[in-house]
């Protein structure tokens, strides 16, 4: 994986949080997930509380990340009012009991 340009993760994180247009926020979150840089994780987690299209993208963007805050966000997504957000969390394996009982390297779909 090629490291991102200096300042790009911070710029994307700012857009993901502060942009007025939800399509821009959604795109920034998708880019942060693609980069997988830990510096973008807080912006992605923040996006799990945005409108449905952004929440759905945020759940998908969590795929390369691990940790208790990621697990908590995926757990919340399983009960989201939007079915596509719930489906995205299920697709990442958050509804699989093995997801919670296994070491992170053994977690299915992540």
Q: How far apart are CA 93 and CA 80, in angstroms?
A: 15
Q: How far apart are CA 53 and CA 22, in angstroms?
A: 8
Contact 92, 59 (CB under 8 A): yes
Q: How far apart are CA 5 and CA 103, in angstroms?
A: 32
Model confidence pLDDT, tens digit, residues 60-99: 999 999 999 999 999 999 999 999 999 999 999 876 665 5
Contact 85, 56 (CB under 8 A): yes
> DSSP label at 33?
H
- Domain ranges in the chain are 8-103
Question: Is the domain defined by 8-103 classed in CATH 1.25.10.10?
Answer: yes
pTM of the model: 0.83
């Amino acid at each position: 994986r090629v490291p991102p340009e200096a300042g790009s993760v911070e710029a994307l994180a700012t857009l993901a949080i502060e942009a007025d247009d939800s399509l821009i926020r959604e795109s920034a979150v998708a880019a942060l997930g693609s980069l997988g840089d830990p510096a973008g994780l807080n912006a992605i987690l923040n996006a799990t509380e945005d409108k449905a299209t952004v929440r759905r993208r945020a759940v998908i963007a969590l795929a390369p990340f691990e940790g208790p805050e990621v697990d908590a966000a995926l757990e919340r997504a399983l009960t989201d009012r939007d079915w596509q957000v719930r489906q995205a969390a299920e697709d990442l394996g958050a509804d699989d009991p093995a997801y919670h009982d296994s070491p992170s390297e053994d977690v299915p779909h992540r």
